[in-house]
Amino acid sequence: MAKRILFWSVLALLMLAVTSAYAGNKVAPIVDHKFITGFEPIPDMNYEPAMPGLRTDSPGEVIGTTQYDYQTNGSSGNRAGVDSQGGVHFVWMNGISYPSQRAVYFNYVDNAGNWLQPTQLSQVNGAGYCQGGVTSDDRCAASYHSANNPGQENYVIYAEDQFTGFGLFRYFDPPDMMAQRCYWPYFCIDRNDNIHVVSCENWPNAGDPQAIGYTVSTDGGSTWSVMISVDTLETISQNVVASPVSDKVAIVYSHPNDFETQWRNTIYYIQSDDGLTWDWRYGKVDVTGYGAPDSLYCYTDLAAIYDYNDNLNIVWNAQWVTDEGIYYRTFLLHYSNGTHVITQLRETPETWPAGCSYGIWNRPVCKMSLGVHQASGNIFTVYTAFDTLDCSAGGYANGDIHMQYTADGGLTWSAPQNLTNSPTPGCIAGNCDSDHWSALADKVDDNLHIIYVEDKDAGGIPQTEGQITTSPVKYLAVPTITGVHQTGSMPTTFELSQNYPNPFNAQTNIDFDLDQGSKVELCVYGITGAKVATLVDGALEAGHHSISWDASDVSSGVYYYKMRSNGEELTRKMTLLK
């Protein structure tokens, strides 16, 4: 169950917990990671073609492929966007023939289910590390860094489709030069159609301090402001987001506590109330306050979004870092500047098995993104979670895409739900289902709109992890009924239905009715009375709701699920058979 923790007390609680947690925890040595430019030499490994028929056991629709399984080094950002007509626009980095040919690709599906087809968006070979969005008049927008060959400098591109879903792009040239050329652009378009871009320097050595620069265009990309240095970082974490209901824009990033390692960071943001004027010197807010004597730090992954109450929401992962090294246990955390509360969504086990790596630039939970449902105000986060029992033959953990949501601005969160649930333990190259590098569209309607890579061999090829494969790029539309979702006519009773299927193997569904909005707690218990899982813990609207329970890590047996609401309690029995 997510705990409600006051902002100023969370640091003290974590500091008290850290001493007792060290004793049983496992630690890895501190190792800085290399950045990726797209011109790395071909790894000393074989190319493994996909299995016949391009097996795709993970859910969703194939919208393209890539040999370049990486999509971001750090923060996931956005690569899917929903327009006002219900069409969905996608961009991704496509390794056509790794690493000699790389490009940014685009695809589009309209609200009737008609697809464009995978279309090359970028103009020259070497483009990649893209971000996507949608303009106010329903055209795809994208940013990426581009290059012709290793002898030429990379440069940042901003592009816009000329018509909705056509794939005919116009290209613009925002500033991209600090002391070094800037790569890895992230962007947003505010409600006044101003285009905000942040990107960071690429120094030749991993761990070199790198400035992040900011520029804005107020005329559709024709002209840009002078690039301003926002701050100096050790990671590729920068996000820029705009409010849907005001002129606010925020830049969010992980700020280093020192410049000795990439691992000791705290969460910063700086906000402009009008989207154009910034207090670069005094306007930065330290959200987490990580630092000595506290040893909890954030790394390189974070996501940010404004909700429809005009509050800035940030999700990040954090872990203990000491002179011993980096502890495996990882916390997924959320902060809202509307409540000034930090809430824990989940934490991972304290140990990690030898010989099964989750890969460089990753943590056991990582690559988060955020979306908001306007009507309900619910905030959703989607991320990759690795399973210690699901490891490829090559020694890398297979990922699955997970989701959690909050109905009260982040004070409480639903239990994690595995959206792809495609374990392939012991898989050989070309036959794995490692679901990773997801991005959730910031607009949630009847569905969560997710793009991700079904990596056919776990590990990141740019870091020479795993084998080179042709991997599907997939679109997963998750009806919000897969989470807790209100459907149908308004019920008149408080009722908990029998789960289905029952008996079940690994996954089952539980429906319930609320005749009035209330705080709901739905938990699963074993026959001894010990709590096994918390499926719901938060406020829900009146209506019919459904939630699924993934019991793949629970042993066979009889279980009870109990729901409490408004002083009432209902219990039913179910049977898990494996």
DSSP 164: T
Other residues' Cβ atoms within 10 Å of the Cβ of residue 135: 18
**Distance of alpha carbon 251 from alpha carbon 262, whole angstroms:** 19
pLDDT-based confidence at 490, cuts 50/70/90? low
Q: What is residue 545's predicted lDDT score, i.e. its pLDDT?
A: 84
Average pLDDT over residues 561-572: 88
Tens of pLDDT along 287-305? 999 988 778 999 999 999 9
Question: Is the predicted pLDDT of residue 446 greater than 90, yes or no?
Answer: no
Residues 443 and 500 in one domain: no
Give the end of a domain, one of 440, 455, 479.
479
CB 508 within 8 A of CB 547: no
Report the number of distinct structural domains present in the chain. 2
Q: What is residue 101's predicted lDDT score, i.e. its pLDDT?
A: 84
Question: Is the predicted pLDDT of residue 333 greater than 90, yes or no?
Answer: yes
216 bridge partner residues: 196
Q: What is residue 569's predicted lDDT score, i.e. its pLDDT?
A: 86
**Distance of alpha carbon 59 from alpha carbon 571, whole angstroms:** 32
pLDDT-based confidence at 492, cuts 50/70/90? low
**Distance of alpha carbon 281 from alpha carbon 270, whole angstroms:** 10
CB 230 within 8 A of CB 255: no
Query: Residue 484: inside a domain, yes or no?
Result: no
pLDDT-based confidence at 375, cuts 50/70/90? confident
CB 104 within 8 A of CB 122: yes
CATH number at residue 68: 2.120.10.10
Tens of pLDDT along 347-371? 998 889 889 999 999 999 999 999 9
Residues 441 and 514 in one domain: no
Average pLDDT over residues 490-511: 80
Residues 499 and 474 in one domain: no
542 bridge partner residues: none
Query: Residue 488: inside a domain, yes or no?
Result: no
3-state secondary structure of 480: coil
DSSP letters of 502-540? SSBSSEEEEEEEESS-EEEEEEEEETTS-EEEEEEEEEE
pLDDT top residue among 240 and 56: 240
Q: What is residue 575's predicted lDDT score, i.e. its pLDDT?
A: 86
Q: What is residue 208's predicted lDDT score, i.e. its pLDDT?
A: 86
Q: What is residue 491's predicted lDDT score, i.e. its pLDDT?
A: 60
Q: Given strand 169-172, what is the order of strands in its sheet? A: 128-134, 140-146, 155-161, 169-172
DSSP letters of 427-454? PPTTS--EEEEEEE-SEESSEEEEEEEE
Residues 313 and 425 in one domain: yes
541 Ramachandran zone, left/alpha/beta (phi>0; psi -120 to 50)? beta
Question: Is the predicted pLDDT of residue 266 greater than 50, yes or no?
Answer: yes
Helix-, strand-, coil-residue percentages of the chain, each rounded to 5:
5, 50, 50
Give the end of a domain, one of 444, 479, 514.
479
3-state secondary structure of 9: helix
Q: What is residue 358's predicted lDDT score, i.e. its pLDDT?
A: 94
Residues in the chain: 578
Q: For the ranges 44-58, 367-381, 397-411, 527-541, which has the lowest average pLDDT?
A: 44-58
Average pLDDT over residues 271-285: 97
Nearest to 253 by CA among 273, 282, 233: 233
Q: What is residue 488's predicted lDDT score, i.e. its pLDDT?
A: 44
SS3 readout for 46-77: CECCCCCCCCCCCCCEEEEEECCCCCCCCCCC
**Distance of alpha carbon 364 from alpha carbon 69, whole angstroms:** 18
3-state secondary structure of 190: coil
Average pLDDT over residues 454-478: 94
Question: Is the predicted pLDDT of residue 512 greater than 90, yes or no?
Answer: no
Residues 426 and 501 in one domain: no
Residues 240 and 113 in one domain: yes
Residues 389 and 529 in one domain: no
CB 111 within 8 A of CB 446: no
CATH number at residue 528: 2.60.40.2550
**Distance of alpha carbon 390 from alpha carbon 325, whole angstroms:** 25
Nearest to 404 by CA among 312, 334, 487, 500: 334
DSSP 490: P
pLDDT-based confidence at 11, cuts 50/70/90? very low
Question: Is the predicted pLDDT of residue 462 greater than 80, yes or no?
Answer: yes
CB 121 within 8 A of CB 70: no
Q: What is residue 205's predicted lDDT score, i.e. its pLDDT?
A: 77
Question: Is the predicted pLDDT of residue 7 greater than 90, yes or no?
Answer: no
**E strand or H helix at 14, and its extent?**
helix 7-22
**Distance of alpha carbon 213 from alpha carbon 229, whole angstroms:** 4
**Distance of alpha carbon 461 from alpha carbon 98, whole angstroms:** 9
Q: What is residue 489's predicted lDDT score, i.e. its pLDDT?
A: 47
41, two tokens: 């030499």
Q: What is residue 29's predicted lDDT score, i.e. its pLDDT?
A: 64
Question: Is the predicted pLDDT of residue 83 greater than 80, yes or no?
Answer: yes
Tens of pLDDT along 188-234? 999 999 999 999 998 877 778 999 999 999 999 999 999 999 999 99
Q: For the ranges 212-216, 533-537, 541-545, which has the lowest average pLDDT?
A: 541-545
| R_g (Cα) of the chain, nearest Å | 23
**Distance of alpha carbon 544 from alpha carbon 311, whole angstroms:** 28
Please state, for a pLDDT cut of 90, what percent of the chain lies above it. Answer: 61
Query: Residue 249: inside a domain, yes or no?
Result: yes
Query: Residue 486: inside a domain, yes or no?
Result: no
Tens of pLDDT along 23-49? 234 676 665 554 444 444 434 434 334
Helix and strand counts by DSSP (H, E) for the chain? 1, 38
Give the end of a domain, one of 416, 450, 479.
479
Nearest to 34 by CA among 2, 3, 70: 70
Q: What is residue 292's predicted lDDT score, i.e. its pLDDT?
A: 81
CA dihedral 52, 56, 61, 63 (to 10 degrees): -60
**Distance of alpha carbon 339 from alpha carbon 313, whole angstroms:** 10
Question: Is the predicted pLDDT of residue 149 greater than 70, yes or no?
Answer: no
Q: Could you tell me the pTM of the whole model?
A: 0.78
**Distance of alpha carbon 217 from alpha carbon 223, whole angstroms:** 6
Q: Are strands 265-272 and 507-514 parallel, antiparallel or unpaired?
A: unpaired
Question: Is the predicted pLDDT of residue 6 greater than 70, yes or no?
Answer: no
Q: What is residue 330's predicted lDDT score, i.e. its pLDDT?
A: 95
Residues 426 and 542 in one domain: no
Q: What is residue 439's predicted lDDT score, i.e. its pLDDT?
A: 98
Per residue in 536-566, is it b (16+ CB within 10 Å) or e — as a string? bbbebbbbbbbbbbbbbebeeeebebebbbe
Average pLDDT over residues 6-11: 30
CA dihedral 326, 436, 128, 459 (to 10 degrees): 60
What residue has token string 């954090």?
318
Q: What is residue 45's predicted lDDT score, i.e. its pLDDT?
A: 38
CB 98 within 8 A of CB 42: yes
| Residue-averaged pLDDT of the chain | 86
Q: What is residue 153's predicted lDDT score, i.e. its pLDDT?
A: 62
Rounded to 5 degrees, φ, ψ at 162 are -80, -25
Residues 201 and 313 in one domain: yes
5 bridge partner residues: 342
448 bridge partner residues: 478
Tens of pLDDT along 65-81? 999 999 998 999 999 99
Residue 527 belongs to domain spanning: 495-576
180, two tokens: 């070094």
Average pLDDT over residues 378-383: 96
Residues 304 and 421 in one domain: yes
Tens of pLDDT along 187-201? 999 999 999 999 999
Residues 507 and 448 in one domain: no
569, two tokens: 């309690």
Q: For the ranges 148-162, 188-202, 395-409, 486-500, which has the lowest average pLDDT?
A: 486-500
Query: Residue 73: inside a domain, yes or no?
Result: yes
Q: What is residue 452's predicted lDDT score, i.e. its pLDDT?
A: 98
Rounded to 5 degrees, φ, ψ at 17 are -75, -25
443, two tokens: 């607009």
Residues 446 and 350 in one domain: yes
